[in-house]
Structure 1
């Protein structure tokens, strides 16, 4: 969920091949690995998609305060 072919390719390019690997790294560490490969206009959605994938929910199900915390931690807000 939340990981389409483009994001999957970006993750794979930095050695993240499985959901388990993504979970072990965590959202922010995985994000840091692919941030440079992600166009600026896609960065917010990509970060939230990673968190949604880890939680097995659509990113829109993540509460606004949690989204804001993630965005701030990633330096996107």
Structure 2
């Protein structure tokens, strides 16, 4: 299993999307941050999956399930990245 799939919230499908976008490991994801990594994979996502995917990436970087991120922080991230 690659280092991306060892992170919380990242399964095979999201890891594959990240790999195809050039994000090949956990260190690269952390370096980019959730917003920049999300922008790299956004084009291929269904519209209704955008918020959850962005939050999943942020949670992965933090080492926690995305639902554990405080709601005000989730709202700020979503507003900043998705508008």
DSSP 3-state at the match of 1:28: helix
Q: Which has the higher contact order (CA 8 A, sep 6+)?
A: 1
Matched, 1:41 2:32: no
How many residue pairs match? The answer is: 76
**Unpaired segments of 5 or more residues in structure 1?**
none
Once residues 19 and 45 of structure 1 are traced to their aligned partners in structure 2, the CA distance between those partners, rounded to angstroms, is: 19
Which runs of 5 or more residues in structure 2 are unaligned? Answer: 1-7
Moved over 4 A (4+): none
Q: TM-score, with normalisation over the residues of structure 2?
A: 0.88
Q: Whole-Å Cα distance in 1 between the matches of residues 45 and 53 of structure 2?
A: 8
CA root-mean-square deviation:
0.8
With normalisation by structure 1, the TM-score equals 0.94
